[in-house]
Structure 1
Amino acid sequence: MASLLIVGRDQRVSVPVRACLGRRGYVTQIYTDPVAAYAPITVGLFDVVLVDIGGPGDDAWRLLGQLRSAGYSVPVIALAGPWDRTGELCRRHGADDVLGKPLRFDQLPDRVVQRLRRPATATADVAGIRLDVKARRAWVAGRQVQLTDRELALLQTMGREPGRVFGRAQLLSQVWDRVDESATNLVAVYVNALRRKLGPGVIETVRGAGYRLTAQG
């Protein structure tokens, strides 16, 4: 299943978009900072990127320009406001498609499908782990392992910043889109399952703080 990134600070846009695409079975993640989103996009973790354009001066414009000027061909759908000529400007900055706001959620999945038909690089490097996002496979120290959708999303999330400690509540929010503190044990279950597949020394437990992914090789 395809992996999608939603970039935007306005949760009134990003959360419903994630819910809509999640119902279609897509693995989705939200990045609120357009500047910080550049790195995980460029290592090939996502099949389609949806960028919410907040208005003139929004860092989302900078993200679009950076991706195209650097030669990255990941399909980008801009979610644009109602002001004049925004769609034209989005395409000039490198967006492949533009959806106007307020969004038509009946159109959104079809537009994603259209972008997915475009050939894209399937493999990515996450902290020295080779990852095939579409097939949900990873290669660690010459071994191939199969991942579930949640395990893939968990690895992608921690792989954005190898060495950074991610708390259980933070991972629950980003991977499961939940804020229920009583459900953080779910994170431990999936981390342990992922750890068994990837092998020792890949995911470390930081007592009282959370987990971190260590760079391999």
Structure 2
Amino acid sequence: MTTILIVEDEQRIASFVEKGLRAEGFTTLWAPTGADGIFHATEGDADLIVLDLGLPDIDGLDALASMRGQGVTTPVIVLTARTTPSATLASLEGGADDYMPKPFRFEELLARIRLRLRAAAPVEQSAHILTHGDIALDLKERTIRANGVTSVLTAREFALAETFLRNPGAVLSRAQLLSRVWGYDFDPNSNVVDVYVRYLRKKIGTDRLETVRGMGYRLT
């Protein structure tokens, strides 16, 4: 059974989320402090983590950094009252897979949890084919097939497509895409990511790469 770890100091919110998730068939764990959350995360007790940033002992961003620093790859959804763009970007750059502001609707949180769990599932692939839905990326030929059409990719288009296909459903910031496709030394103020996303959309369909305003892009 899938276990969701809720790192949240407000018992009322944690109980609300736990009740809803259990009704949907999930098992839940509640960690009221960052230290408890880090312990359960590093022990591998959860399949997904819902993380508040305003924790009583340590900041949620520090807890997230500790988890990722200890090799925890479990999907993390930040659920917080911090709604500034800087908090959103800091969370995503720090290793969060998604970000939801409070107050929130449980139905939306549930949908995001299910999406993150699907994205974390092993990607279907053969020896050299990476797939997601009806999109197939040939790692050998460097071609992509979508909507029944096969297209040849440039080196950068290929690297960008591979990054999205290895992280389906995850929101990838421009900075993350720059570092993975172009390298850390590339100018962070460049619009090259947007340009190549536009190129890739022409080959797989404009609706396949969703723009998440203020955050980045994701493969739907």
Give the TM-score taking structure 1 as reference length. 0.51
Structure 1 partner of 2:92: 91
Superposition map of 1:127-206 within 5 A? none
Contact 2:76/2:97 (CA < 8 Å) preserved in 1? yes
How many residues align? The count is 121
Q: Distance in 1 between matches of 2:24 and 2:76?
A: 19
Residue segments in structure 1 that go unaligned for 5+ positions in a row = 122-217
Residue segments in structure 2 that go unaligned for 5+ positions in a row = 123-220
Q: Percent identity?
A: 31
Q: Select the structure with the greater relative contact order (CA < 8 A; seq sep ≥ 6).
A: 1
Shift in CA distance, 58/42, structure 1 to aligned 2, threshold 3 Å? closer
Coordinate RMSD, CA, aligned: 2.2
| AA matched with 2:12 | R
Structure 2 partner of 1:115: 116
| AA matched with 1:68 | R
| 1:102-133 CA distance string (max 9 Å, x none) | 01112111111111113469xxxxxxxxxxxx
Structure 2 partner of 1:60: 60
| AA matched with 1:80 | T
| 1:126-150 CA distance string (max 9 Å, x none) | xxxxxxxxxxxxxxxxxxxxxxxxx
Structure 2 partner of 1:13: 13
Superposition map of 1:41-52 within 5 A? 41-52=41-52
Q: Distance in 2 between matches of 1:92 and 1:61?
A: 10
Structure 2 partner of 1:81: 81
Q: Which runs of 4+ in 1 moved over 4 A?
A: 55-58
CA radius of gyration, larger in: 2
Give the TM-score taking structure 2 as reference length. 0.50
User: What displacement does 1:57 show?
Assistant: 8.5
Shift in CA distance, 54/83, structure 1 to aligned 2, threshold 3 Å? same
| AA matched with 2:23 | R
